[in-house]
Structure 1
Amino acid sequence: MSLKQVSENSEVDERLAALINNAGAVRAISTAVEGTIGPKGLDTMLVDKYGNVVITNAGVTILDLMEVSHPAAKMLINVAKAQHQEIGDGTTTATLMAGALITQGVEQVMKGVPVARIIEGMRIAAQEVLQVFHHQSKNITDVHDPVLKQVALVAGREHEDIAQLVVQAAVLIGKEKLLEPGFKLADTICSTLGAENQVFSGVILNKERMNRQMITRLDQVGILIIDDALEPEELEDEALSTEAGFNRYLTLRQEFEDHVRKIGALGVNLVLTDRGINDLAEEIFLDLGIMAVERVSHKELRRVAEHTGARMIKRSGLKKESSELKNYLGWAGQVQEDEKLGQIFIKNGRGKSMATIQVGASTEEVVGERERIAKDAAAAVQVAVQGGVLPGGGAIELAALREVEGKRSQVRGMAAYGMDCVAEALKKPFSQIVANAGFNPLEKLGDVVAAQTEGNTSSLAINCDTGGVEDMFALGVIDPALVKIHAFQAAREVAEAILRIDTIIKMKTEENIEI
């Protein structure tokens, strides 16, 4: 690499060297995940310096955990993470396509094509690609549509039990809930070592009751949620040293006891608090047969409140009249603690319908991976309901490829070379899926393109078991349209950003920055 010294504290890479360097880093990231894509993709083992092991074929997990220092590589990883946060799936596809776009873009630059023309061509081609994706997508009108099961199977890496759980949860929640912008089906998933797979209407608290002598199961449960500590008002030590201060202490303690007993008189069976519960309150709850759970996370409290119809209250709110406090209570059909798992199940609340998916496994390594698989499947099912579905297996990308190649002849000037970059990127997911299945990508690419052209269809690709050309919809290889759309857009955006980097300058260290 050629370096030019411009000052005592900075170094500059020449333009071409910077592009080549960035492209090499991006290729390395793309290579790290390419072996995981498709039904025949393999797993990756990640090991940290302490010997801790994670085994996965989830692209986002690999990218998140791998050690990376190159700035261009970090840009690509951040885009993949953004794809996962926004859509929940498609990170490997986005990474592969970005890698191909950047590699092809750098090759065109080395041949003398200006970056501006390459980006212009990419944008023209992108319009054609997105038009194909939108036009070919098929809407999901009902959560009972069997297509959702296939979507869950593909995103869930053929785990039948997980796909079944996710679809059951989608049916339980309903289409209206899945369409809510702030709701994520993937957030309803929890994984527990030694647990049984299940889906139920309710929520799980990863907590135990505060006293082992408290009841473990309740039916027809009144619930009070205190977004605060349940403790008497405190006085300064100096105040307690005086008679008036000590009398004030006794008064406050009596008021606190009255408030706690008022809770029992309201018909409350379960008390949840954000912080600690005083010993006196614990004793009273034990006497009254009330289950109490302290130090529940605010996120979990919100979910319980939403499901049970409860309104969270501060401890100062306990001063309200009983008739007023009743408006804050929630209700659930059943509350039960699983002492083996250390969890509390709150089921059949009167508030909003809410499903919880519990995924179990026999070892720590496996349970973590099964949770990741379930979250991918859940995210895919939700975005399929939101934006429809497309044929998978790289079929829709090859259909878009045909449109891009047809449009190329109408584009004059060097922008056509930018369209070539997009064309090569569109081949990448299909080629890698086929290669991972043990077939020749070039041969199969030609077979599929010819078959799609002859049949004027966009759903043909390769059966990774037989190597034959088949209809992906009929085969059950189905992807959410939004996954494809966002993956392509993310890949193009990061490719443009990296190709536009003309110079790399090493910044001053903090101690050399003048203040």
Structure 2
Amino acid sequence: MASHPTERDGSGDERLSTLLHNMNAVQAIASAVEGTIGPKGLDTMLVDEEGGVIITNDGVTILEEMEVRHPAARLMIGLARSQQREVGDGTTTATLLAAALVTEGAAQVQRGVPVAKVIAGIELGINEAVAKLKEAALPIEAFEDERLFHIAYIAGREQEDIARLVIEGAKLIGRDKMLEPDFAFSELVTAGEGAENEVLNGVIIHQRPLSREMPKRLDNVCLFVLNDALAPEEMDDEALGTEIGFQRYLQLKEEYRRNLKKLLELGVNAVVLDRSCDSMAEEFCLDHGIVVLHRVFRSERERVARYTGARSLKRIALNKSVEELSHSLGYAEHLEYDETLGQVRVIGGRGIPTATMVIGASTGEVVGERERIAKDAAAAVQAALRGGYLPGGGSLELFLSRHLEEWRTSVQGMEGFGVEAVAAALRKPFAQMIRNAGFNPLEKIEQVKAAQAKADSSSIGLDFDTGHCADMLESGVVDPALVKLHALKTAGEVSRAILRIHTVIRKKSPAIPSNE
């Protein structure tokens, strides 16, 4: 039976052993990404056992590719994934905040503050900081707002070509679509070695035609989408071994042959499949100039269906009449296969308008990173349109820290120590940016705090090139409000969950069934 930490020993060190162990684990996770934050942050090289290399500045990529076993550390990976999934940016900030909250909370517990009081105080401090963030958010009025370009530029690691491409893509999509809750703008980004930067008024399918003899270009495209294989209905071997089963097999094959002819009656010249295409269908399509794209990713099938107005079907739907099937077809002006890039472009769809942002990369090694950067920029632009923007560069977090230090005096009881933990944690991302820029964090934080107090402004931060104080709003250093809000909320939730862990017990292994 596993022992409880408090039952082992009466000493404070033993009672704190689990908390400190967890704290060390989350600090190790934070240290893996802290060097990447800010305009002077550097890249990380990830190497696998076979010598494969990823060079990236992206926090969630680093964390997801790391080998992590500690349960508390895994919570931090989950935090990064949540931040990426919900707003698409700010994973490093969220990770540093959570680690700092755990560290500062543990320090208060070591001082003798009950864990429950620290946790309650952290929740109070986070709620107050979130309220101030919402209050300070400024709206983006139009795509031409220079703040929107600055947001794309910063999230895009200061790569101007990516920032401009993302803004161009956002304009083509339109504000209404960008504000839809289920629409993820970053999913419209793709990158390719040797490709040119462009915003394509259409969709891309990352697949080659099934056969090299199929047409490379089609005009007046009539598209058929199957979330299935293009093949006869399957029968098991046992059924085929009977006379009745074999006759049924021949019947299904003949029905399938007739169903293929329906494609001709419908005028179909392109077929998009989830799975494979059997040899009979392949030969039929070759003979009649029909392009077959098989094993297409679900996201790409859904996009091409929406764009062309097609309705995705299962293969059993081929038994329907030609009239019924005609209502499920999609249409586009052109379909073209780019042999160099190994992708098919569908242009001029008659369904829901969309666009694809194509990011060029000079070598295969940088394709992934260029795509990640562009996706971050796209996510940041969408977040800014939805929730407005705030001063960046760590300036607002420092202002919130100062505010909480003053507000703490209004909090009665020992919960105030938890509020202190939040105030201290909010300085962590800014301090790390200063350190990455080669300056002394203690000196520069005090310098900026004094400048903020003098100007009574939350936007005074640090110019990381000169080391002098500067107004972040005037300098164009801005971040989406939703990114900061989600990072703070998620960091608060994860840190409180880790601080609540009092005992770690290894689960027993599943019982192995006996062969006897």
**TM-score normalised according to structure 1 size:** 0.92
Q: Give runs of aligned pairs for residues 7-406 of structure 1, distance below 5 A.
A: 14-233=14-233, 253-406=253-406
- Establish whether residue 472 from structure 1 lines up as the match of residue 472 from structure 2: yes
Which string of whole-angstrom CA distances, capped at 9 and with x for unpartnered residues, describes residues 326-362 of structure 1?
Answer: 2111111211001122111112211112221222323
Contact 1:96 1:429 (8 Å CA) reproduced: yes
Which string of whole-angstrom CA distances, capped at 9 and with x for unpartnered residues, describes residues 2-38 of structure 1?
Answer: xx9749xx99993211222111122111111111100
Sort the Cα spacing of 1:490 and 1:260 in 2 relative to 1 into closer, same or farther, 3 A: same
Q: Distance in 2 between matches of 1:291 and 1:272?
A: 9
Contact 1:144 1:171 (8 Å CA) reproduced: no
Sort the Cα spacing of 1:264 and 1:16 in 2 relative to 1 into closer, same or farther, 3 A: same
Q: Secondary structure at the match of 1:14?
A: helix
Contact 1:134 1:481 (8 Å CA) reproduced: yes
473-482 or 500-509, which deviates more? 500-509
Q: Distance in 1 between matches of 2:238 and 2:155?
A: 63
Q: Distance in 2 between matches of 1:116 and 1:397?
A: 25
Contact 1:139 1:387 (8 Å CA) reproduced: yes
Contact 2:207 2:343 (8 Å CA) reproduced: yes
Q: Distance in 1 between matches of 2:501 and 2:459?
A: 37
Q: State the 1:437 CA deviation.
A: 0.9
Q: Distance in 1 between matches of 2:411 and 2:182?
A: 42
2:34 counterpart letter in structure 1: E
Q: Distance in 2 between matches of 1:234 and 1:114?
A: 64
Q: Secondary structure at the match of 1:295?
A: coil
Contact 1:193 1:361 (8 Å CA) reproduced: yes
Q: Distance in 1 between matches of 2:103 and 2:390?
A: 27
Q: Distance in 2 between matches of 1:405 and 1:505?
A: 37
Which string of whole-angstrom CA distances, capped at 9 and with x for unpartnered residues, describes residues 419-463 of structure 1?
Answer: 111111111111111111112222221222222222222111111
1:397 counterpart letter in structure 2: E
Tell me the equivalent position of 1:459.
Answer: 459
Which string of whole-angstrom CA distances, capped at 9 and with x for unpartnered residues, describes residues 223-244 of structure 1?
Answer: 1112332234567889989999
Tell me the equivalent position of 1:489.
Answer: 489
Tell me the equivalent position of 2:415.
Answer: 415
1:192 counterpart letter in structure 2: G
Tell me the equivalent position of 2:425.
Answer: 425
Sort the Cα spacing of 1:299 and 1:431 in 2 relative to 1 into closer, same or farther, 3 A: same
2:494 counterpart letter in structure 1: V
Contact 2:8 2:14 (8 Å CA) reproduced: no
1:285 counterpart letter in structure 2: C
Which 5+ residue runs of structure 1 have no aligned equivalent?
Answer: none
Q: State the 1:146 CA deviation.
A: 2.7
Q: CA RMSD in A?
A: 2.7
Q: Distance in 2 between matches of 1:134 and 1:388?
A: 9
366-375 or 265-274, which deviates more? 265-274
**TM-score normalised according to structure 2 size:** 0.91
Q: Distance in 1 between matches of 2:435 and 2:156?
A: 21
1:29 counterpart letter in structure 2: I
Which string of whole-angstrom CA distances, capped at 9 and with x for unpartnered residues, describes residues 368-410 of structure 1?
Answer: 1111111111111111111111111001112212221221222
Percent sequence identity is 51
State how many pairs are aligned: 508
Which string of whole-angstrom CA distances, capped at 9 and with x for unpartnered residues, describes residues 84-125 of structure 1?
Answer: 122211111111111211111111111111112222222222
Contact 2:2 2:505 (8 Å CA) reproduced: no
Sort the Cα spacing of 1:242 and 1:399 in 2 relative to 1 into closer, same or farther, 3 A: closer
Q: Secondary structure at the match of 2:467?
A: coil
Q: State the 1:284 CA deviation.
A: 3.1
1:218 counterpart letter in structure 2: L
Sort the Cα spacing of 1:256 and 1:461 in 2 relative to 1 into closer, same or farther, 3 A: same
1:188 counterpart letter in structure 2: L
1:68 counterpart letter in structure 2: V
Tell me the equivalent position of 1:503.
Answer: 503
Q: Distance in 1 between matches of 2:318 and 2:288?
A: 18
Q: Distance in 1 between matches of 2:410 and 2:234?
A: 79
Q: Distance in 1 between matches of 2:412 and 2:102?
A: 22
1:21 counterpart letter in structure 2: H
Sort the Cα spacing of 1:267 and 1:11 in 2 relative to 1 into closer, same or farther, 3 A: farther
